Amino acid sequence: MMSLSSGSVATHLRILRRCGYCRLAGGARVARLGSLHALYRGFTLALTTLYLLQECIYAYQVRQDMDKLARVMFLLLCHITSIAKQLVFHLKADRIDEMLGGLNEPLYNQSAAVHQRLLRVTAARAARFVRAYAGCAVVTCTLWITFPVMYHLQGQLVEFPFWINVDYNQSKMFILVLAYSYYVTTLVGIANTTMDAFMATVLNQCKTQLRILRINFECLPLQAVEVLKTSPGQSYDAVLMKLFKECLLHYEKITKTAKMLQDIFGTAILIQFGIGGWILCMAAYKIVTLNVLSVEFASMTLFISCILTELFLYCYYGNEVTDESSRVSESLYSMEWARAGLSFRRSLVLVMERAKRPLRPAAGRVIPLSLDTFVKIIKSSYTFYAVLRQTK
């Protein structure tokens, strides 16, 4: 049975499995479908890689034409980051399953009403966001295919921004090439946005768990009193220490989840940050030449919004995890510890010292996931754009 914590990424996993980016969950049915789905995942990886190679060839062919190069580069770079994340889902599937398995543990799904409410809100918001984010990608890709269709109906020559060694200006071949381009770009768009939302949701789940942990720390003496009412034979200090150890175990599991996410996806996020500025630069270079009232301008605006959201997600939720974990020591001090014994107070001081070092998720163990990082990426993107415009 799926828990509320693991349910927060259920929509993400369902979309990624349908796109062929994530393997199926365990079970008897999977034993029958697993091989077919593995073939489908291999086909998806091969198809997206082929399309990237076609874009690379086209970019090399038009390297002297800056307008055509900008037209292909923002998509090419976006596909590179997508394949980097896709490879992680292929090569580190076992570790991802291990991380997801941790979300089903009892400490991550505590039964108190306030805890359940926080978990439900987190899951509901995650599901709504990934649908809206992936839907924005679909709308963007759909708008992109309107231009070649209009040009073809007007009898103009159409040039797709990828290499293909066939004459596609004939109607039948044009439809095939258009369908191929739309399928791959839409597939990558949906999967790429969903992978970003998946990682952001895991970070958000860590934030929610830290908030639950803080509530538990602050209410620890009251919980101990409630336990004593039902089991009066125990001592207050023994019950308090037992509950305190459970909270420490919860803290350890949250730390483990955040570390696993960093270890699994850290390199892919680092690539995303490294290339994200260039994607925005190329998209900005393209959009300044468009008519503000055109459909193409609207599609490019949506694309830039998706890329900005993509980068902002990591930075915002990474920053939230750091901020929430930095408040743990405050929650420890806020509990009514004066009644506790000397042993408990000594343990409390040690944990408070540990909590002074907050969790700091990072991309590739180098770049912190923080709002400052997001601002720096935007600034670097503008610098790239300014240099590009001057050298045109």
* Residue 228 to residue 223: CA distance in whole angstroms: 9
Q: What is residue 29's predicted lDDT score, i.e. its pLDDT?
A: 54
- Picking from 351, 89, 278, the residue whose alpha carbon sits closest to that of residue 195 is 89
State yes or no: pLDDT of 294 exceeds 90.
Answer: no
pLDDT tens, residue by residue, 255-289: 999 999 999 999 999 999 989 888 888 888 888 87
Comparing 5 with 204, which gets the higher pLDDT? Answer: 204
pLDDT tens, residue by residue, 296-326: 888 888 899 999 999 999 999 999 999 999 9
User: What residues contact 71, with CB distance under 8 A and at least 6 apart?
Assistant: 161, 286
Report the percent of the chain where pLDDT is more than 90.
59
* Residue 5 to residue 10: CA distance in whole angstroms: 9
Can you list the alpha helix ranges (DSSP code H) found in the chain?
4-7, 10-19, 28-61, 66-91, 93-102, 113-153, 171-218, 220-230, 236-287, 295-326, 328-334, 342-355, 371-390
Average pLDDT for 11-32: 82
Q: What is residue 290's predicted lDDT score, i.e. its pLDDT?
A: 79
Residue 367: beta bridge partners? 363
pLDDT tens, residue by residue, 90-124: 999 999 999 999 999 999 998 888 899 999 999 99
State yes or no: pLDDT of 28 exceeds 60.
Answer: no
- Picking from 177, 193, 259, 269, the residue whose alpha carbon sits closest to that of residue 21 is 193
Q: Packing angle between helix 93-102 and helix 236-287, nearest 10 degrees?
A: 130
Q: What is residue 94's predicted lDDT score, i.e. its pLDDT?
A: 93
Tokens encoding 370: 């923080």
3-state secondary structure of 54: helix
DSSP 353-390: HHHTS----EETTTEE-SHHHHHHHHHHHHHHHHHHHH
Please, which pLDDT band fits residue 30 given cuts at 50, 70 and 90? low
Q: What is residue 82's predicted lDDT score, i.e. its pLDDT?
A: 95
Q: What is residue 44's predicted lDDT score, i.e. its pLDDT?
A: 96
CB atoms within 10 A of CB 166: 9
* Residue 334 to residue 217: CA distance in whole angstroms: 8
Comparing 188 with 340, which gets the higher pLDDT? Answer: 188
Between the CA atoms of 31, 35, 41 and 47, what dihedral angle is there, to the nearest 10 degrees?
A: -160
Q: 23-32, 91-100, 143-152, 343-352: which has the minimum mean pLDDT?
A: 23-32
Comparing 167 with 308, which gets the higher pLDDT? Answer: 308
State yes or no: pLDDT of 27 exceeds 60.
Answer: no
Q: How many Cα atoms occupy the beta-carbon half-sphere of 125 within 13 Å?
A: 12
Q: For residue 351, give the amino acid letter.
A: V
Please, which pLDDT band fits residue 392 given cuts at 50, 70 and 90? low
DSSP state at residue 338: T
State yes or no: pLDDT of 35 exceeds 90.
Answer: no
User: What residues contact 142, with CB distance under 8 A and at least 6 apart?
Assistant: 182, 186
Please check whether residue 280 is in contact with residue 307, taking contact to mean a CB–CB distance below 8 angstroms: yes
User: What residues contact 378, with CB distance under 8 A and at least 6 apart?
Assistant: 277, 280
Q: What is residue 26's predicted lDDT score, i.e. its pLDDT?
A: 65
Please check whether residue 269 is in contact with residue 199, taking contact to mean a CB–CB distance below 8 angstroms: yes
Comparing 115 with 32, which gets the higher pLDDT? Answer: 115
State yes or no: pLDDT of 84 exceeds 80.
Answer: yes
Q: For residue 341, give the amino acid letter.
A: G
Q: What is residue 87's predicted lDDT score, i.e. its pLDDT?
A: 96
Average pLDDT for 236-265: 94
Q: What is residue 289's predicted lDDT score, i.e. its pLDDT?
A: 79
pTM of the model: 0.93
